[in-house]
């Protein structure tokens, strides 16, 4: 960028940051400093225990699409959990404590469901905080994928699906004694950047409608950052009798979702990206009310005929009878009936700490409003780079704001990925890469600023200049 363009962008960013109605939530997060990310040794103390210095310049962290930064209150909540365990032992399961913000461990999953339900647009009964993403996809398919080789047996997914989704589909098909050659259908994109149009998706659904049992798609495609038209695709598939599961790993906490109103059958997600639960933190699933009814009592004849069969565990039992220890499974209605084991309270406590901040920020609509402005500003600032720099990359994420979330994926010219990433890291910038040539840049509205976007573009310009000179 020219000096004048940089100065103008900085002024715009400063003005936008000053006008940001939710800028206050940035202070709720531990954003690593440049010195910290450059260090190769474990810090002696947690950042929350140290006074902040003006010399501790924050890094430019634009990687919430991969791992969100740590909320400051996570340490507080985890210490409260550890104190409960240390002082109450097993009583922590049932004994409420005065002046504690934490639920009993028996009710921790219910409290977490109350916090996540508005994030995904669901009734509380339709969500469960449990397991991890791929495990939940398998659990959902085990309940709702009932293939008939003489009828509906195919699963449709995109050809560039996240590998774990692809593996889940392949193994589920083989688990039922079928072959992927006959029972797996891949949606191919006609775009060189792998942007899949809604029309392409609907065309594949139409072509295989009579023999398809299940459709599995991402809410947001991990590589390109494309936001799919969830309600339109769901409705189209339903009209053709197809059950729909959405992988919302990159959508949850990123864009507003209205899963109940959209009639989504089921969905699953992780919590360590935009939800900031921490690496490998507990996942979640959604099961629409229509698919989780329980019509019989456990005392009725053949009570198992009153609910959709699924892989079961004791935590899916009704809470009132869970500790009776009778060897007779009867699920509670709703998504909670798909739970297996008691969830990790450590994980749920960490996730809930972040979800508290979502509430304080005003929910997903407020976050989306800022996110649209952030990503648009990032895109516009990239467009102000020098022509010779712009010749070495292109944005492959859709340009229409309604067709993307926070993330922009930048496709670099061949041979530039490694040196550009090295130079960005040296300048205190954290983004991530997807080989062979893509870097993903995701300003998260909870803690990123417009100034972060400008500083990224400045560092990216400098990194490209160094990388292209080396390539000569």
Percent of the chain surpassing pLDDT 90? 92
pTM: 0.96
Task: Answer whether residue 387 shows pLDDT above 90.
Answer: yes
Q: What is the pLDDT of residue 321?
A: 77
What's the pLDDT tens digit per position in 251-297? 999 999 999 999 999 999 999 999 999 999 999 999 999 999 999 99
Q: What is the pLDDT of residue 51?
A: 60
Give the number of other Cβ atoms within 10 Å of residue 329's Cβ. 16
What's the pLDDT tens digit per position in 342-359? 999 999 999 999 999 999
Q: What is the pLDDT of residue 52?
A: 60
pLDDT band at 324, cuts 50/70/90? confident
Q: What is the pLDDT of residue 472?
A: 63
Residue 377, C-beta contacts closer than 8 angstroms, at least 6 positions apart = 12, 13, 16, 450, 453
Q: What is the mean pLDDT of residues 204-215?
A: 98
Task: Answer whether residue 202 shows pLDDT above 90.
Answer: yes
Q: Which of 414, 433, 413 is nearest to 422 (CA)?
A: 433
Task: Answer whether residue 93 shows pLDDT above 80.
Answer: yes
Percent of the chain surpassing pLDDT 70? 98
Q: What is the mean pLDDT of residues 3-12?
A: 93
Helix, strand, or coil here: 129?
Answer: strand
Residue 178 CA from chain centroid, whole number: 31
Q: What is the mean pLDDT of residues 168-193?
A: 97
Q: What is the pLDDT of residue 57?
A: 94
Q: What is the mean pLDDT of residues 327-332?
A: 90
Residue 393, C-beta contacts closer than 8 angstroms, at least 6 positions apart = 410, 411, 412, 413, 416, 464
Q: What is the pLDDT of residue 89?
A: 98
Q: Which of 11-20, 51-60, 353-362, 366-375 has the lowest mean pLDDT?
A: 51-60
Task: Answer whether residue 49 shows pLDDT above 70.
Answer: no
pLDDT band at 323, cuts 50/70/90? confident
pLDDT band at 14, cuts 50/70/90? very high
| Greatest alpha-carbon span in the chain | 79
Q: What is the mean pLDDT of residues 354-376?
A: 98
| Cα gap 2→462, rounded to integer Å | 12
Contacts 24+ apart (CB under 8 A), 412-415: 412/437, 412/438, 412/439, 413/437, 415/471
Helix, strand, or coil here: 3?
Answer: helix
Task: Answer whether residue 53 shows pLDDT above 70.
Answer: no
Q: What is the mean pLDDT of residues 231-257?
A: 98
Q: What is the pLDDT of residue 36?
A: 94
């Amino acid at each position: 960028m020219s000096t004048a363009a940089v100065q103008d962008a900085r002024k715009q960013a400063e003005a936008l940051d000053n006008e940001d109605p939710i800028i206050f939530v940035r202070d709720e997060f531990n954003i690593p400093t440049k010195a910290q990310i450059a260090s190769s040794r474990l810090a002696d103390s947690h950042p929350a225990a140290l006074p902040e210095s003006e010399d501790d310049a924050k890094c430019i962290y634009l990687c919430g699409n991969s791992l969100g930064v740590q909320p400051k209150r996570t340490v507080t909540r985890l210490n409260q959990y550890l104190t409960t365990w240390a002082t109450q032992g097993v009583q922590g399961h049932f004994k409420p404590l005065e002046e504690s913000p934490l639920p009993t461990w028996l009710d921790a999953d219910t409290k977490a469901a109350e916090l996540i339900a508005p994030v995904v647009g669901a009734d509380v009964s339709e969500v469960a905080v449990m397991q991890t993403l791929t495990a939940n996809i398998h659990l959902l398919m085990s309940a709702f994928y009932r293939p008939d080789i003489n009828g509906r047996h195919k699963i449709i997914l995109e050809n560039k699906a996240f590998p774990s989704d692809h593996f889940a589909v392949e193994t589920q098909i083989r688990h039922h004694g079928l072959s992927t050659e006959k029972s797996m259908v891949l949606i191919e994109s006609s775009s060189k950047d792998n942007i899949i149009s809604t029309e392409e998706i609907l065309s594949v659904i139409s072509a295989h409608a009579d023999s398809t049992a299940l459709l599995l798609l991402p809410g947001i495609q991990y590589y390109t950052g494309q936001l799919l038209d969830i309600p339109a695709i769901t409705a189209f598939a339903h009209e053709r009798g197809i059950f729909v599961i959405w992988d919302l790993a990159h959508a949850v906490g990123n864009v507003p979702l209205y899963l109940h109103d959209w009639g989504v059958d089921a969905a699953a997600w992780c919590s360590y990206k935009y939800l900031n639960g921490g690496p490998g933190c507990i996942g979640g699933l959604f099961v629409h009310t229509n698919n989780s009814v329980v019509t019989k009592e456990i005392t009725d004849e053949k009570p198992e005929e009153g609910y959709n069969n699924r892989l079961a565990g004791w935590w899916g039992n009704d809470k009132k009878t869970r500790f009776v220890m009778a060897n007779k499974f009867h699920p509670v209605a709703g998504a909670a009936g798909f739970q297996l084991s008691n969830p990790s309270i450590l994980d749920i406590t960490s996730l809930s700490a972040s979800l508290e901040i979502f509430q304080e920020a005003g929910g997903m609509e407020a976050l989306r409003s800022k996110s649209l402005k952030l990503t648009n500003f990032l895109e516009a600032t990239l467009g102000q780079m020098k022509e010779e720099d712009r010749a070495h990359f292109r944005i492959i994420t859709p340009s229409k704001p309604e067709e993307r979330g926070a993330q922009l994926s930048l496709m670099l010219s061949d041979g530039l990925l490694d040196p550009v990433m090295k130079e960005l890291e040296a300048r205190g910038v954290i983004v991530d890469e997807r080989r062979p040539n893509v870097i993903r840049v995701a300003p998260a509205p909870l803690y990123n600023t417009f100034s972060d976007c400008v500083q990224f573009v400045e560092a990216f310009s400098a990194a490209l200049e160094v990388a292209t000179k080396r390539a000569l």
